[in-house]
Amino acid sequence: MTQLSDIKGFTKPLAANLGKLGISNIQALLLHLPLRYIDETHITAIRDLRINEPAQAEGEVVHAEVIYKPRKALVARLEDASGQLTLRFLHFYPSQIATLKVGAKLRVYGEVRHGFFGYEMVHPTFKAVGVATEVPETLTPVYPTVAGLAQSSIRKAIRIAMKQGDLTETLPADVYAGLKLPGFGESLLALHHPSPEVDLYALEQKTTPHWRRLAFDELLAQQLSMRKHYARRRSVSAPQFMPSRQLVSALLKNLPFALTAAQQKVALEIERDLTQPHPMQRLLQGDVGSGKTIVACMAALQSIENHWQAALMAPTEILAEQHYRKMFTWLNPLNITIAWLTGSQSKKEREFALAAIAEGRAQLVVGTHALFQEAVQFKNLGLAIIDEQHRFGVHQRLALRQKGQPEPHQLMMSATPIPRTLSMSYYADLDVSVIDELPPGRTPVATKLVADIRRDEILQRVREACLQGNQAYWVCPLIEESEALQLATANDTYTLLQEEFPELKVGLVHGRMKPAEKQAVMAAFSAGDIQLLVATTVIEVGVDVPNASLMVIEHAERMGLSQLHQLRGRVGRGANKSTCILLYQNKLSETARARLKVIYESNDGFAIAQADLQIRGPGELLGVRQSGVPMLKIADLERDVDLLETAKSMADHVLQHYPNNVERHLDRWMSSAGEYVKV
């Protein structure tokens, strides 16, 4: 496809800025659709302007000055035959002062309100006009953009794209016959340059036929892509594992607990998949603490009993180490050899592990990202298990897949629940198992919202809990702008809390520590040698210390809801009544308040993810990178649910009758969609 930088009119900086929006070719640019529109198609006489409504006026500047009270502002009076209008700018450049001089003819667009001197527009857009400057014939689109990329530049770029791009249909007309929707090119034109007669409300709600046409195309592309993934999987062979006869029952016999019904159900689903001649691609979802690890271990044993190696990969060293120790306790009595592989090992340890993996002596390999490095050669990898799969990119997942010949089965685990509507569409190439109950004997975590000014009370509470033999986490605020600042905050908090609690053993763990140091701290906390653990969000995933029953999270309002829920899941793992205290800065915004309310009221990871979805949108929740299937840019699964149904049945129709058109349709829609993986 033509790259933007090869097209006349696209300078390097323009192409680079569009690149930041994920737009690298002309097709993607065509599908970069407006957020909203402004109506500059007619001019309203100043006398007829209406309060609180955006409008366009035109006139001559009769007065202009920079005032300094009550605050610095550039103020001008615009006059037409019917009256006067004040223009007010609180931020302005010298060039704007030059344009807004007495005698200038201006066209201004903005929202009108009552000012001190009558009608006023604050920060209107404006331009100098000549005697006969025409008004545009269509509504002016406002596009999503990035800093440094002006609306006028995007508009110009899209005009070029509309002339040079491919606006033809990718599929025969009968695909659209039942829908009565306009054509592709016509729809694009109507969305980029709508006529002023259009129903603006419907247009901005994306419910006009033109929007629906594009939404349908997008959904259809998504369905086609999923079916291709699915068909690929059916065409690939994988080793077939008989259900385990010995190892799994030996494991379960040694366990100090019985599996929950939900664990048994998902274990059976996985067991069945592994008997199939095609690679399993199963996502095991379960709330924090629902007991996914033991289920994964059972799957590994099925592979091992069939003389194939299994691998378990975790996103952090802390978590991988913890898995390793757990697997060791469970599997050592069964005489299973486990290898351990991370980036922080000594060369000797690493070579030893690599040899054991290559020769097949290592029956199970536990590790971090180090597992899919090139030097790692398995003798026969039969099952790859990926914990906290949303932490890995789709390419990393694929890399592990390529470590086996034939393709290994894959089990992915996640505690970040994906609401059902999403899992059906984004994860349609995966089968999903859900552990929907927690092991018995857990007392739910009590959540408290406390304003930061009551910090002293909280400190007292931490002291009491620790002196009574419990353990506590103190989670430092997330500082997204700067990792260095985050680190400094963690160090400061650590020092302060050490001073505050001379009678307690306080520890610190953060993402920048050497893995060995991190492990030492976590081990000391696990063993109870540390009572209060100051931590950055590195403890978010998977760490399991049952005796920890109190958690304080600072600046909770800065964190994502699912993240808070995961953090909170670190406590409430033992028999003790657990509490999670969310400290917030006073003066919460409306949204921050709504979000914290959700986490306060709900202990249900699915409900929380659903709320997160509503507040932040699916991109944030899944991360475009992680989903493996492109995100929807136009369609909305709730609003366009009828189109989704049609797209599902039409996808089959297209594959059956027009298989040769599929690639073209996918190219149009998928080439612009993040990390789309061609199969």
The backbone torsions φ and ψ at residue 214, rounded to the nearest 5 degrees and listed phi first, read -70, -35
- String marking each residue 391-420 x if it binds ligand ADP according to CB under 6 A: ------------------------x-----
Q: Smallest distance from the beta carbon of 297 to ligand ADP, in angstroms?
A: 9
The count of chain residues that interact with Mg ion, using the rule CB under 5 A, is: 1
Q: Among the candidate windows 33-41, 131-139, 258-266, 660-668, which touches ligand ADP by CB under 6 A?
A: 258-266
Q: Which does 257 bind (CB under 5 to 8 A by kind): Mg ion, ligand ADP, none?
A: ligand ADP
The residue range among 426-434, 465-473, 537-545, 580-588 that interacts with Mg ion, by the rule CB under 5 A, is 537-545
CA angle in degrees (0–180, nearest 5) for 349-351-354: 110
Instruction: Choose the binding region for ligand ADP from 42-50, 194-202, 291-299, 359-367 (rule: CB under 6 A).
Output: 291-299
* Residue 417 found at the interface with Mg ion (CB under 5 A): no
Segment holding 159, helix H or strand E: helix 151-164
Total residues at interface with ligand ADP (CB under 6 A): 17
**Binding mask of the shown chain, residues 563 to 592, with x at each position contacting ligand ADP by CB under 6 A:** ----------x-------------------
Taking the CA atoms of residue 556, residue 559, residue 563 and residue 567 in that order, the dihedral angle to the nearest 10 degrees is: -30
Nearer to Mg ion, 165 or 542 (CB): 542
In the bound state, the residue with its beta carbon closest to ligand ADP is: 291
Residue with smaller CB distance to Mg ion, 288 or 428: 288
Nearer to Mg ion, 251 or 651 (CB): 251
| Pairing assessment for the beta strands 548-553 and 471-475 based on DSSP bridges | parallel
Q: Report d(CA 532, CA 574) in Å as an integer.
A: 17
**Binding segment (CB under 6 A) for ligand ADP, from list 18-26, 66-74, 255-263, 669-677:** 255-263
Part of the chain binding ligand ADP (CB under 6 A), chosen from 237-245, 259-267, 419-427, 595-603: 259-267
Q: Which does 439 bind (CB under 5 to 8 A by kind): ligand ADP, Mg ion, none?
A: ligand ADP
Strands (E) located in 348-492: 364-367, 381-386, 409-414, 431-435, 446-451, 471-475
Using rule CB under 5 A, residue 542 touches Mg ion: yes
3-state secondary structure of 254: helix
The site map against ligand ADP for 516-555 (x = CB under 6 A) is --------------------------x-x-----------
Task: Give which of ligand ADP, Mg ion, none residue 289 binds (C-beta under 5 to 8 Å, depending on kind).
Answer: ligand ADP
Q: Which does 507 bind (CB under 5 to 8 A by kind): Mg ion, ligand ADP, none?
A: none
Is 396:368 a contact under the CB 8 Å cutoff?
no
Instruction: List the structure tokens of 222.
Output: 């998504």
In whole angstroms, the minimum distance from the beta carbon of 310 to ligand ADP comes to 16
> Residue 260, interface with ligand ADP (CB under 6 A)?
yes
| Exposure b/e, 424-454, CB count within 10 A at least 16 = b | ebbbbbbebbbbbebbeeeeebebebbeeee
- Taking each helix axis from N to C terminus, what angle separates 561-568 and 590-601, rounded to the nearest 10 degrees? 30
Are 417 and 651 in contact by the 8 Å Cβ rule? The answer is: no
Report the alpha-carbon distance of residue 608 to residue 664 in Å, rounded. 39
Minimum distance of ligand ADP from residue 318's CB (angstroms): 13
Contact between residue 467 and residue 503 where contact means Cβ atoms under 8 Å apart: yes
- In 3D space, the residue among 94, 91, 97, 93 whose CA is nearest the CA of residue 64 turns out to be 97
Q: Which is nearer to ligand ADP, 161 or 561 (CB)?
A: 561
Helix or strand or coil: residue 372?
A: helix
Q: How far apart are CA 532 and CA 497, in angstroms?
A: 9
**Positive or negative torsion for Cα 448, 452, 456, 459:** positive
Answer for which of 124, 239, 289, 404 binds ligand ADP (CB under 6 A) is 289
Quick check: 257 binds ligand ADP (CB under 6 A)?
yes
Q: Which of 17, 187, 281, 290 binds ligand ADP (CB under 6 A)?
A: 290
Of the two residues 227 and 292, which places its CB atom closer to ligand ADP in the complex? 292
Q: Which is nearer to ligand ADP, 208 or 549 (CB)?
A: 549
Q: Residue-wise over 389-410: b if at least 16 C-beta within 10 A, else e?
A: bbbbebebbebbbebbeebbbb
| Choices 6-14, 477-485, 540-548, 647-655 (CB under 5 A): range interacting with Mg ion | 540-548
Query: Residue from 288, 314, 357, 545 that binds ligand ADP (CB under 6 A)?
Result: 288
CA distances to 172, 215, 494, 564 from 507, in Å: 66, 52, 7, 21
- Output Rg (C-alpha) for the chain, integer angstroms: 30
Applying CB under 6 A, the span of 252-260, 473-481, 488-496, 639-647 interacting with ligand ADP comes to: 252-260
| Distance, CA of 158 to CA of 153 (rounded, Å) | 9
| CA–CA separation, 233 and 413 (whole Å) | 19
Applying CB under 5 A, which residues contact Mg ion? 542
State the residues that interact with ligand ADP by CB under 6 A.
257, 259-260, 263, 286, 288-294, 415, 439, 542, 544, 573
